[in-house]
Every structure is written in structure tokens, then in C-alpha cells.
């Protein structure tokens, strides 16, 4: 039963990725009815916490089980709950159930000013973490196809990219993310953004982000962010990121 629901949500996640590329009608994407979790304990929407696409201990020893529980069940859940709370304060701004949070943060300027900062922070947190879980996997792997070629062209290969990302992550003061994005011209670009700012709000399409908030690593790596960044490469889902790149370039 759990597996079935997980698969349904994975399918939803995949279709969400596909529909979030290109020109989007604002906030009109409805989720397939079959993918809506019916649980009585589900938060009152419009947004809900997606389940992890793998077990909490799947990324051990690189990302520990307790961190995954806290990060997903507490931190990500809080972004979702606070996003819903913020939206409830502006009932005239209607967000249909099943809406794509990517559309919301991409079109942040259309959000009423009274809740725009909350949506930037909490909606960004929801969007960023929803992508983050999908870009990790116990299988690891290597970049492939056109994405691997683009990585070579833009950074001089995977190892050089890792170096650049580690440097960017080490240099980011305070909380934020290191992002590999497609810029408006569909060029691979590395950038850092503070807090939970989404690349989508800045006009970029995120392929992969490293969460360098302390909550992502402090239990296991304490203050040594560099060791966490070094370890995360063991569990990056390059297949997913390569596919995401290919779909975005076709859109």
C-alpha cells in the first residue's frame, strides 16, 4: 500500500517536473485525483509534504538517518505548513489544490505583497526541498548524455564542477543553497542564493542544489560544511539531473 502510494507520488513528481518547464499558466495545474493523498492527518492544503522517494536510511553513511528524519519531517514539513498558513491570510489569492509550488515561486510578483515575503521563504523552502530529495539517491552514478557534455563545456568536467561547487558552498555566508541552474539562455550556471530563495524567482531553472543550511549537516558533520559537501557527491542522482536537463533543453 505504501509502495503504491509512493509510486503514485513519484509519478506525480515526474509530471510536475515536466509541466514546470516552459510557459506556464499561473497556478492552474491540478494534480491527478489518484495522486492526492487521502490521509486524514494531511495538512489543510493547498500544499502538502511529498514523501521521500527512498527510505530515511538510504543515504547512509553520507547523510545520516536522523538528519533525514529531521530535515524532511520537521524542516520541510514546516515550510509547507507555514506556506499554507501564509496563503490562508489572503483568501482572495486563490491557489487551487494540487497547484505546482514551482509556479508559485516563479510568479512571486503576482503574490499579494502582504504575504510575498512569507511565500518567498516558505514557498521557496517547499520548492527547493521537493527538488532536493529527488536529486539524491543511494545509487550515485555519473552525468550522462548531453548533460555530461554541457558540464564538460561549462566547467571542464564533473571534477572541476565539484571543485567549483564546493568553493561556492564554502564561501556562502550564513544559510543558503549552491545551485546548478540553466540560466535564461539555457546555459549551465553555478550560483549561490541566500535563505530559501528559489532560482525560479530569479528567472533560472534549477537542476540541482546543495542545501548548505546547518540543519542539512550539523548532526553528523558539525561545523565542517566542507566534509558534508564532499560526502554528498556519493549520493547525487545524476540520472535524474541528466534527464531533467534534457527535458528542460527540449522545452
Contact positions vs Mn ion (CB under 5 A)? 211, 213, 216
Report, in Å, the least distance between residue 186 CB and Mn ion: 27
Cα angle at 146 between 143 and 148, to 5 degrees?
Answer: 30
Q: Using the minimum distance from each CB to Mn ion, give the nearer residue, 5 or 215.
A: 215
CA distance 101 to 228: 28
CA distance 149 to 68: 32
Report, in Å, the least distance between residue 135 CB and Mn ion: 13
φ, ψ for residue 100, nearest 5 deg: -85, 120
Q: Using the minimum distance from each CB to Mn ion, give the nearer residue, 213 or 221.
A: 213
Report, in Å, the least distance between residue 158 CB and Mn ion: 24
Report, in Å, the least distance between residue 23 CB and Mn ion: 30
Q: Which residue is nearest to Mn ion (CB)?
A: 211
Q: For residue 102, what is the enclosing H or E element?
A: helix 101-106
Residues 6+ apart with CB under 8 A from 13: 50, 53, 130, 134
Q: Using the minimum distance from each CB to Mn ion, give the nearer residue, 102 or 211.
A: 211
Q: Using the minimum distance from each CB to Mn ion, give the nearer residue, 216 or 236.
A: 216
Report, in Å, the least distance between residue 184 CB and Mn ion: 26
Sign of the dihedral through C-alpha 80, 84, 86, 87: positive
Report, in Å, the least distance between residue 20 CB and Mn ion: 20
Q: For residue 189, what is the enclosing H or E element?
A: strand 188-194
Report, in Å, the least distance between residue 95 CB and Mn ion: 23
Q: Using the minimum distance from each CB to Mn ion, give the nearer residue, 120 or 150.
A: 120
- 3-class DSSP state of 196: coil
Nearest to 75 by CA among 225, 214, 199, 233: 214
Q: If you ran DSSP here, which 8-state letter would residue 29 be given?
A: P
CA distance 196 to 191: 13
Q: Using the minimum distance from each CB to Mn ion, give the nearer residue, 54 or 147.
A: 54
Q: Using the minimum distance from each CB to Mn ion, give the nearer residue, 132 or 147.
A: 132
Grid cell listed for 190: 553555478
Amino acid at each position: 500500500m505504501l509502495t503504491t502510494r509512493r509510486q503514485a507520488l513519484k509519478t506525480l513528481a515526474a509530471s510536475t517536473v515536466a509541466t514546470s518547464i516552459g510557459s506556464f499558466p499561473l497556478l492552474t495545474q491540478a494534480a491527478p485525483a489518484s495522486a492526492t493523498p487521502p490521509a486524514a492527518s494531511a495538512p489543510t492544503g493547498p500544499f502538502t509534504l511529498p514523501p521521500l522517494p527512498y527510505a530515511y536510511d538510504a543515504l547512509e553513511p553520507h547523510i545520516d538517518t536522523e538528519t533525514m528524519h529531521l530535515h524532511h519531517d520537521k524542516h520541510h514539513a514546516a515550510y509547507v505548513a507555514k506556506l499554507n498558513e501564509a496563503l490562508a491570510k489572503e483568501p482572495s489569492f486563490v491557489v487551487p489544490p494540487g497547484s505546482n509550488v514551482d509556479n508559485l515561486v516563479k510568479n512571486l510578483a503576482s503574490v499579494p505583497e502582504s504575504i510575498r515575503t512569507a511565500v518567498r521563504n516558505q514557498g521557496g523552502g517547499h520548492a527547493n526541498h521537493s527538488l532536493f530529495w529527488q536529486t539524491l539517491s543511494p545509487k550515485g552514478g555519473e552525468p550522462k548524455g548531453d548533460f555530461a557534455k554541457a558540464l564538460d563545456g561549462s566547467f571542464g568536467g564533473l571534477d572541476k564542477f565539484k571543485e567549483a561547487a564546493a568553493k561556492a558552498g564554502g564561501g556562502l555566508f550564513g544559510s543558503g543553497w549552491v545551485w546548478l541552474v540553466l540560466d535564461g539562455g539555457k546555459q549551465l550556471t553555478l550560483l549561490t542564493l541566500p535563505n530559501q530563495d528559489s532560482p525560479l524567482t530569479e528567472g533560472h531553472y534549477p537542476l540541482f542544489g546543495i542545501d548548505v543550511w546547518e540543519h542539512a549537516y550539523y548532526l553528523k558533520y558539525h561545523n565542517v560544511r566542507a566534509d558534508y559537501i564532499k560526502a554528498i557527491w556519493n549520493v547525487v542522482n545524476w540520472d535524474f539531473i541528466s534527464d531533467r536537463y534534457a527535458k528542460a533543453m527540449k522545452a
